Amino acid sequence: MEHRVDGIEVRADVDREIVAELQADGGLARENVEQLQTALMSSRVVGTALGILMTSRNVSQVEALTVLKDARQRTNTKLRDLAATIVAGAEAVR
């Protein structure tokens, strides 16, 4: 699990570099930078949560996404917040 978390941090660093390059090249407005960074990080967290569900429940990616969406509806929680809870719980276990 630690290797996976390290990989996420590396990808987040790459995402930040890409965002900075887009902004420097004028391809990204300053006001959109924070929103894009948040979206990229949320995407990574959701992907990690899907991986955790796939492994722990021995299901496909589609099935894991269904589990996550169903839990979101039952708990009235944002998908990214639910995913962050799953990732935090998995990190606490290791």
DSSP string, 15-37: HHHHHHHHHHTTSS-HHHHHHHH
DSSP string, 34-56: HHHHHHHHHHHHHHHHHHHHHHH
Count: domains in the chain: 1
The pLDDT value recorded for residue 33 is 72
pTM comes to 0.67
The pLDDT value recorded for residue 32 is 74
| Full domain range(s) for residue 8 | 2-93
One pLDDT digit (tens) per residue for the chain, 94 residues: 445 555 556 666 766 677 677 767 676 676 777 777 777 778 888 889 999 999 999 999 999 999 999 999 999 999 889 999 999 988 887 7
The pLDDT value recorded for residue 90 is 86
The pLDDT value recorded for residue 6 is 57
